[in-house]
Structure 1
Amino acid sequence: MCDIPLGICRDILLRLPAESLLRLRTVFKSWKTIIDDPCFVKAHNKYQLSSNTLLLSNSIGPPFYPLYYFDLEGLNFTNGPKTIPATPINLSRIGLSLVPAVPLPACNGLMLISPFNHEKSRRRQDINGDSEGIWEIWNPLTRERLRLPQPNIHSYVLGHGIGYDCAADDYKVVVIDYLYDYDDRESLMQTHVYSLKSDSWRVMIEEFPFELFTLNSVQGVFLNGALHWILDTTDSMIIAFDVGTEKYGFQLKRPDNLSQVRGQRLKLDAFGECLFLSCKDEESRHFDAWVMNDYGPEGSWIHLFSINQQNYYDMKAVYYLKNKKQVLLQHYCGFLWFDVESCNYMKNVGVHGLFRDFRLCAQHFIGSLVRLHDRCGCVADKRRMRKSKGKMKMEMVDTE
């Protein structure tokens, strides 16, 4: 294969999983050059959007548990019930044996580990300890993790997320916090943005364009260059923060047929290039799902299905195949493939290889070749300085 033209070789490598590419880097120097090229990494991320891998963790007990991955490629829809093994992820290489429970804010295979990995935000003064107040970006595939400088957050964190600025080729972390001045009886909402390129935080000067609110979920969902949150208001509007311009843009309307009833639990996801909204009604036990057609402020929601979850506890959507119109639903101990067109369950999917009393919590995972320390501003600058100093020493030796 080393005799294959580099252009054809590049096209072949683009279609391989990221995990395979990490191994192939050691085969030929020419392959390593291709795989490590930033343009290749960027193009490869687009191919990985249809990845069939899930990350699994335990949703009950202590906040930290071993992490597993679960490959859906082995499913055969023509047979009966199927059980697929869950493979533990070896994290010892980075000195991390346990990780926070998924789902985590994610973008292009990079995940944000923060003090607020659970649905309810907490006071910053409760997490000031070194072990709990840490913000990190983590790549589960390469086992890299990068600790971020501590943001200057004064009170409540309402929302956070990680996104990618395509124009600047930069990954950014966004944190929304709320500060109340008891002396002046005034409230202030701030947006903090971290840039991986500069390895620094900055606070947005622009005033927050929405009235005081709480978010339906702390974690922002990244799609089409923007992070999205659902406002916890009567109309449940979806706000979008453009990671490139670092401004709040348009608002997305809620589905017209989404009733405003107490006890509803809304969840926003991004599967592939689709914005996916699900709603669980705690009283009627119904589970509804929508997908957005033609993303944008005028985009329309398509209602996919409405099912009764009486026989399954804590159901949620974790994967959506747009071309096949199939949704993978997770319940507390396994998965169900659901066919949208026939409105029927196609397959019960079990998981083995987990320890006892494991309460499933899953997240769609995209393998990423992004190398954090090569992109981080401070690390890259130090590396360039070392190279320039080495070059100067060599020139001095040659002169002598």
Structure 2
Amino acid sequence: MAGRTMQNPGDESMISNIELTNQLSYLLDKERNERLESQLPPDTSPSNIIANILSPSSVVITSSPSTLIRQSQQGPALGYLRIGFGQCGITCERPGRDYVVKLARPAYKQGLWADFQAHFMVREASQQKANKNAECRVPRLFSWIPESKTKWWDKNRFLFPEISGLLPLPTPALVTEHILPLPKIARQALIERYCPPGLQANVSADPTNRDCLARLYLGSRRQRPELLSPNFTLRNFNLHLDQMLEMELPVLLFASAMGEALAIIHWAAHVDGYDIEFVLGSEADAYSVYNQDIAVSLKLTPQQVLGMSSHEDLDAKLRTNFKQRSTRMWVLDFNLCHIWPEEIALSEPDGLVSHLVQAFFDNDPYYPRPHGEGDIERELWDAFATTYSQKAEQILQDKDKRLVDLPSRFINACISYVK
């Protein structure tokens, strides 16, 4: 036995489960991609692939649940993979399921609770006020799991083997709809177009690049488009306006969708929208016994929330038939948002408008900017501002008359801000 390292059998089992979970994630991604490729005409060029797939109107009809999907939902040992991380938490998926779990970092437990509250307000407002076929979606909100919910954690803690060295568990968790990544064929086209040739093989092989959502930067062009990034990654891929134009994406549609979404966030949800993100990702239509958003009031105190059901058998309730999958624009990440009562708009309108303008410009350049240098920039701003104003007017039409002019004051203040 001399010279041998003793290994804990539990460690070996954990490594095996991680490998199995990674393999399943790869196979599911491969299967989705093969279905998508079968819908495309032969010899489709990379640029046409991107234009077809990244347009929100694209729809791919697929079959009923595959053997892989059914197996993934019946495999209790298969755990969660880390697919994203941010200031307040780490996001994990369980391959084959249409939800993700966001785990709070130790110093940001209240930040994740703020994420839950603002997300709830925005989701509810969107359900009530968004147009029937609105282009911008808000992920469904399924559950809030406090760290004291021992029954849930006793059942699920072992399913997070990748997290054990990164976060102390249990910790508060937020369960939301999974925004599926862009399909492999689109990811490969982005790599071929924007990744340095010498890095393309490694980038393509890196499993973290499967977790690809594209951030829509309508308010930004690349300063040196001829230079390819030596740090190229597909995770949280920044898609600038000049790239969208190169790929002939429907940028005016994106601008209008952002305008409608922000009007709902401001004037129906009463959320400032600070540091939210607008991304392109895939969508799967789901049917299940449990397909409704969490039906609780945000007047609940944290103590009351501790008594909420923690969805002990989430997997049995979330099922998908993968009947349709299409690229969608999504708005997400509400952990830095603030909720403001309507009374503030009446008592301190100037302060509120100033705050909303600051949140608008402090964000990454998702929104079109006023006074753009080119014709397309001006068209984008007009589309955004017009849709924002129209949706806000619709939302406020039955409200106190003193609120009606606040959206136009916001737009005018944005214009003045950059003059």
TM category (shorter chain) comes to under 0.3
- Bigger helix share: 2
| Higher RCO (C-alpha under 8 Å, 6+ residues apart) | 2
- Bigger strand share: 1
Please report the TM-score for the alignment, with normalisation by the length of structure 1.
0.22
Please report the TM-score for the alignment, with normalisation by the length of structure 2.
0.22
